[in-house]
Structure 1
Amino acid sequence: MSIAYLNGRFLPLADARISVLDRGFLFAEGIYEVTAVIEGRLIDSASHLDRLTRSAGAIGIAVPLPPEEIEAAQRQLVALNSMNEGLIYLQFTRGADEGRDFLPAPDLQPTLVMFVQPKLFLNVAAAKTGIAVVTTPDLRWARRDIKSTGLLAQAMAKRIATDAGAQEAWMVEDGHVTEGASSTAFIVTDDAIVTRPYSQAVLAGCTGAALTALAQEAGMTVVNRPFTVAEALAANEAFITSASTLCQSVVRIDGQPIGDGTPGPVATRLREIYVDFARRTAV
């Protein structure tokens, strides 16, 4: 039986109930985070909590608990579920109102919910074979730096990828890749690792940021700039990063092989470096 956290209480996930008047349900007025768990410990927890606070501030909602209390609750949630490897999903909204109105009442109490999702991502087949992605127009709003629960465009992109036999979609705007539907996009050229700089146009990926720093520490050159779909197709390698995939090689884009169509040495090495970092710094 999976145990969840809801507004200060630990209870069976099946018993967790949120009002239909919650503004997260009615307006997607909420923020979420996904944190990886490896060997029963949280990965990059401080970065995820920092981003949570930034996103909450951008939409004017106070985070319901101090970061250290959220982290403690997440660690307790992992223990209660005896989870060794997987993900913690956290979401909080402005709360439930007395009716549906675009302007909320000023005294709403935020809704905070967390639950776990066991998932293996260390020793998975895709780490050896790589994945395929497809490109699709980026239909999202202008504030993509806010990790909003409004994920309709991303869900549509994931469906497009699945229908094409791919595992991820790269969203494209003005000919340039913005990011994956649930990941940060990278390519490897002869000279550097290339990824888009953080701005309001993309989400600041916690895993991507950590991996970029680790790559630079290892003496690799990282260039922050937009890249086109054509550049990606001509790249030596491509890969994605996210809490749920860590560092994952992309071996096909829109049906065309990247490099020799197998995971390349740069992405393979970066995955090893990140897993070592995760194990050393997990809490």
Structure 2
Amino acid sequence: MTRTVYVNGEYLPETDAKISIFDRGFLFADAVYEVTSVLGGKLIAFDGHAQRLKRSLNELGIENPITTDDLLEVHRELVRLNDIDEGLIYLQISRGAPGDRDFVFPNPDEVKPTVVLFTQAKPGLAKSVKPMTVISIDDIRWGRRDIKTVQLLYPSMGKMMAQAAGADDAWMIEDGYVTEGTSNNVYIVKDGKIITRGLSNDILHGITRAAVLRYAEEAQMEVEERSFTIEEAQNADEAFYTSASGFVMPVVQIDGVVLGEGEPGRVATRLREIYIDESLKSAV
């Protein structure tokens, strides 16, 4: 079945959807995005994604072209039209298509942002737990990783480096410390304490991260927000990552060093259960 997608106010078959070759998202990666999970036909953490979208747009000076209520309606309509029970909704907003290529931003009164959304069906999303293996790579991205832009070439290259090394993902290192995974926030557990890098411009302010840390504290788990090295991670009792599409995923090997028994740890397993249960309660 052909998917129905959303482009600038219209619901269209994906084969009919078109974007200008002059769109700045295409030419300059001048765009932001969000990915919202769908479980049981409902949206997980929609409000958090909508708020972060506003922040990203504001940081780049892109006019917000759609209200939160309208955005929610578009998400729900795409879920309905594409019969999504478990899956993802990808949203992208670019600065628009000025009709030619120029480094200078176009006049926002004359050029309006481009809004695109599409769905991805992922049956079994809530049950997909795979013990992950990771390698470490240098973090050479730009300095504003807190803005969720579509500048994802290096993270894509990182995933390919991991694949070439026989691993599932890569953790990035800057100034000797782990920043984040290629598409996720990362954590280690030592003596029952959850350790993760604190928020700054160096990492994405993950919506799943915020929820998981809140649930961890409610469950009386100790949390410490600080930087850690890859060597410290290799000596941890367990490790995991969080993302909108993976929820909480256990990491069992880092640069060839097996953590613990090489199986998903107790903390990661419990946090995944809590996150999914609590998210379903508040899903819209």
TM-score if structure 1 supplies the norm length?
A: 0.97
1:110 is matched with 113
Give a deviation string over 1:23-67, Cα, whole Å, max 9, x none.
000000000000000000000000001110000000000121011
Indicate if the aligned counterparts of 2:216 and 2:223 stay in contact, CA closer than 8 A: yes
1:162 aligns with 2:166: no
RMSD across aligned positions (CA): 0.9
Q: Give the match's secondary structure for 1:122.
A: helix
1:254 is matched with 255
Corresponding letter in the other structure for 2:232: E
Matches within 5 A, 1:4-153: 4-106=5-107, 107-119=110-122, 120-126=124-130, 130-153=131-154
1:233 is matched with 234
Q: How many Å separate the matches in 2 of 1:10 and 1:121? A: 25
Q: Give the match's secondary structure for 2:47.
A: helix
Q: Give the match's secondary structure for 2:125.
A: coil
Corresponding letter in the other structure for 1:203: L
1:282 is matched with 283
Give a deviation string over 1:216-242, Cα, whole Å, max 9, x none.
001001111011101100000100000
2:191 is matched with 190
Q: CA deviation at 1:104?
A: 2.5
TM-score if structure 2 supplies the norm length?
A: 0.97
Q: How many Å separate the matches in 1 of 2:228 and 2:192? A: 14
Corresponding letter in the other structure for 1:208: R
Q: CA deviation at 1:105?
A: 2.3
Corresponding letter in the other structure for 1:108: V
Q: How many Å separate the matches in 2 of 1:158 and 1:202? A: 17
Q: Which runs of 5+ in 2 are unaligned?
A: none
Give a deviation string over 1:136-180, Cα, whole Å, max 9, x none.
100100001000111111111011111112111111111111000
Q: How many Å separate the matches in 1 of 2:125 and 2:232? A: 28
Corresponding letter in the other structure for 1:32: Y
Q: Give the match's secondary structure for 2:127.
A: coil
Q: Which runs of 5+ in 1 are unaligned?
A: none
Aligned length: 280
Q: CA deviation at 1:191?
A: 4.8
Q: How many Å separate the matches in 1 of 2:116 and 2:220? A: 41
Matches within 5 A, 1:264-279: 264-279=265-280
Q: How many Å separate the matches in 2 of 1:157 and 1:14? A: 31
Q: How many Å separate the matches in 1 of 2:45 and 2:125? A: 16
Q: How many Å separate the matches in 1 of 2:102 and 2:94? A: 15
Corresponding letter in the other structure for 2:126: L
The 10-residue stretch of structure 1 (184-193 or 140-149) with the greater mean CA deviation from structure 2:
184-193
Corresponding letter in the other structure for 2:20: S
Task: State percent identity of aligned pairs.
Answer: 48
Q: How many Å separate the matches in 1 of 2:88 and 2:165? A: 26
Give a deviation string over 1:102-148, Cα, whole Å, max 9, x none.
1132021100000001113211251xxx1111111001000010001
Give a deviation string over 1:79-118, Cα, whole Å, max 9, x none.
1000000100000100001211111320211000000011
Corresponding letter in the other structure for 1:79: R
